[in-house]
Amino acid sequence: MRFPDSLQGRRPTWVEVDLNQLESNFLALRRFLPRSVKIIAVVKADAYGHGAVPVGQRLERLGADALAVALPEEALVLRRAGVKSPLLLLNGFWPGQEDEIIQHQLTPVVFRQDMLDSLEKAAARAKRQVVYHLEVNTGISRLGVEWEEASSFLARNAGTVWARCEGVFTHFSLAESIQDGSTETQLERFTRFLEAAEQGGLRTQWRHAANSAGILNFRQSWMDSVRPGLAVFGVNPLPSPQNALALSPVLRFKSQVMQVRVIRSGCSIGYGNAFTATRDSIIATLSVGYADGLMRALSNCGHVLIRGRRAPIAGKISMDLTLVDATEVPSVEVGDEAVLIGKQGNFEIRVEELAGLVQTIPYEILTRIGPRVPRLYLGQDTVMNSRPSH
């Protein structure tokens, strides 16, 4: 996409979210899984930086069985935008949020007795049943009732009138590895919990464990539902470059050259004079910085794409500006598109590459792209900017 019309009169730094690619990824997952396996698409943290509303709306239209967010606040944004799908609140809720959960028919995750007690009370007050999923800790030890105690938890609460357990799930700590053995251990514990619960006549409609890596690496973890996030956005959840799904990234991050200068060999540039030219060089200044989510750790090590060439980031990334060595870019000029994440010509910069360079994970690269970067949606009826202008 060339410079978008909707950015006329604004800073030319933007994210393109390709909803048709989102659709292809979701359908690839749908085909990969048996029809009986429900897909709970994870759209927390503003759909991993892609924009929860357009993404959630498209996934709902495509037939996602449920959407998952971290917080009630995130679910309310989706409800207000007309999303009707079941919305799972992965991190539960906090005191005072029970009434909204009931009013908007959200599905909280429960992992403590007092949460269930307060839900039951609020639902009784509203005379409206609330359904919840119980998180079972099988090893990651973030949230969840311990796996040995989870069936007694269910049995103890089987008589609740207003709060009904509709699902049980666990979360893997290392499903991207098939060597490690910890996912098998977690699955075995979860299965033992399920057996104990079923022996007590406690069978729920949703039983789930697999995130994106779990879906690809552990078929036995599919049960009757799965919770993919990263794969839906076309990012490879596994360390190996190839996997069974043909996924492509949904997000592209772009900016423009705003000044070009020639510097002499020996000249240092940017904060801390952290880049010193070893030849006469052409330096292009981009209108993007770490406040937009271009991580400062990429200073002097990342690249951007300009005119189909890879141009190294030169010196320290500033809050709102980035310098690149464009000496090898033919006829670089003000207004040239600079691709920070995405394809241009024969090259591609992927979030997996950036994450590797700065020793983080693709999730962090995606969710750091800041709110002052407008998201443009491709594949809607018209190209639309979902964010208010700043």
Ligand X SMILES: Cc1ncc(COP(=O)(O)O)c(C=O)c1O
Residues of this chain that bind ligand X (CB under 6 A): 42, 90, 171, 211-213, 227-231, 237
Q: Which H or E element spans position 304?
A: strand 303-306
108 phi and psi angles, rounded to 5 deg: -75, 155
Nearest-angstrom CA–CA distance, 334 and 329: 13
User: Are the C-beta atoms of residues 15 and 387 closer than 8 Å to each other?
Assistant: no
- Cβ atoms of residues 137 and 144 within 8 Å: yes
Give the C-alpha separation, 144 to 134, whole Å.
7
Tokens at residue 45, please? 């943290």
C-alpha R_g of the chain: 24
Enumerate the active-site residues: 44, 271
Q: 9, 11, 1, 8: which is closest to 256 by C-alpha?
A: 11
DSSP string, 93-162: --TT-HHHHHHTT-EEEE-SHHHHHHHHHHHHHHT--EEEEEEEESSS-SSSEETTTHHHHHHHTTT-SS
Looking up tokens 């949460």 gives: 115
Sequence-ordered list of residues with C-beta below 8 angstroms from that of 59, at least 6 positions apart, any chain: 22, 26, 41, 43, 67, 85, 232
Residue 125 or 142 with smaller CB distance to ligand X: 142
Annotate 348-372 with b (16+ C-beta within 10 A) or e (fewer): ebbbbebbeebeebbbebbbebbee
CA distance 152 to 174: 27
